[in-house]
Amino acid sequence: MNRHSARARLRHPRLRTRISPGDTMYRPGPAAYFPVGRSALHAIEEVLALAGSGGVNPILDLPCGHGRVLRWLRSRYPDAVITACDIDRPGVDFCARTFGAEPVYGSERFAETRLPRRYDLVWCGSLLTHLDLAAWREALSLLVDALRPGGVLIASTHGPTALENIRRRHPTRLWGLDQSGGDRLIRAFESGGFGYADYPKRAGYGISLATPSFVEAVLAELPGVDGGRVLERRWADHHDIAYCVKTSEVDTQAGGPLRESVRRPAAKPRRSAPR
């Protein structure tokens, strides 16, 4: 155990600090890994308070990766059923083995992912940040369908802060994109509020950027949800955090509400203060 794991364990005795050898999120080093996971948990708890959410059991972490955030969910909610879903099967297996998560292998096409239950909390960290708008809509449809009435979807997005941070750190190769991809991403973001470019040689997976108002407009299109809001720079001072609350079951075939909400969201939360 290195000193970062030891320190995290000391401060958070319930935290399991074992690292999967396949966890690419660990590559930048251990110093950031645990604080980034903890920051996600703080953002999740802030949203749950704003949304007036009662219980959070069961929980879905999609994509779970190799448990960077799931380990914190497990330490905070030791008795909850937590479903770990990803297309990275070794990651799912690691989360099941190490954190007692319920394993579900995801599908590249979101519409083909089968989830075993409905959730009070769906956490989607660092997925929309890598998808184009059509894939955002497919992913959001799956994730909202997976909520129980009253359940909360929380997803991270790249907004103006992420762009500012990356420009400062890697001004010439934004997120490892090639020059034309980076230019396309910025142009579309600045002109229409949303931009996307593939990573070099990875069709369909890259970097997206979205203004908070664009994200809120996308959430507002989702049937059967309410309270679509964005809290800026809430995850590790880098990702924005978008959330919405499921108010009713919607028959996506017929397009109409089937069942009204059992729990209404709390009064409209304030927008984050500009910093």
Q: Which residues bind ligand SAM (CB under 6 A)?
A: 25, 62-63, 65, 68-69, 86-88, 91, 106, 108, 110, 125-127
| Nearer to ligand SAM (CB atom), residue 86 or residue 102 | 86
Task: Yes or no: say if 68 and 37 are a contact pair by the CB < 8 Å rule.
Answer: yes
| Nearer to ligand SAM (CB atom), residue 113 or residue 211 | 113
In 42-118, DSSP assigns E strands to 59-61, 82-86, 102-105
Minimum CB–partner distance for residue 211 and ligand SAM (Å)? 21
Minimum CB–partner distance for residue 255 and ligand SAM (Å)? 24
d(CA 58, CA 71): 15
| Nearer to ligand SAM (CB atom), residue 61 or residue 232 | 61
| Nearer to ligand SAM (CB atom), residue 217 or residue 236 | 236
| Nearer to ligand SAM (CB atom), residue 76 or residue 263 | 76
Q: Closest CB to ligand SAM belongs to which residue?
A: 65
Minimum CB–partner distance for residue 105 and ligand SAM (Å)? 9
What radius of gyration do the chain's Cα atoms show? 18
d(CA 162, CA 154): 18
What's at 269, amino acid-wise? Answer: P
Task: Yes or no: say if 106 and 124 are a contact pair by the CB < 8 Å rule.
Answer: no
SS3 68: coil
Q: In whole angstroms, how far apart are CA 258 and each of 118, 177, 215?
A: 16, 44, 26
